[in-house]
Amino acid sequence: MELQLVAKPSAARAGRHWVMRAVRSQGVPTEALDVIELLTGELLANAVVHGPAAGGIRIRTWRSGRVVSVAVSDESCTRPVVRDPAPTSAGGRGMLLIDTLASAWGVDDGGPTGKTVWFSLDVGAA
């Protein structure tokens, strides 16, 4: 399943809602939905904030047995960094959340056309 969006503030919300509908249709257990929604929101927010204004964003999600994956592609070549922000910092926790809560995550280099950041989550019974 795939969705194309333009990088603007409303894209994060629209993409998050699309992913949630998609994973529900794939029979993902209810107890995994909050984590998927949180991590998807972080990937999409990063694509909107750190990618080029009005650039393209592509969202994909799929399930393979017990594992659900979400991938967000954008037109920025800058790789995300896991930070350890001060407790009083207003931001910088997105990739830390993904690193902490996802079963696996990574970045696929798209060369001059950007990158894809993805996470996988073991959601239990297939």
pLDDT number for residue 23: 96
pTM of the model: 0.92
Mean pLDDT by 10 residues, the chain (126 residues): 92 95 94 96 93 93 96 94 80 87 95 94 84
pLDDT at 97: 92
Measure the N-to-C terminal CA separation of the chain; round to a whole number of Å.
Answer: 18
Q: What does the pLDDT read at residue 126?
A: 62
At residue 21, the pLDDT reads 97
- Strands lying side by side in the sheet with 115-122: 2-6, 56-64, 67-74, 115-122, 104-109
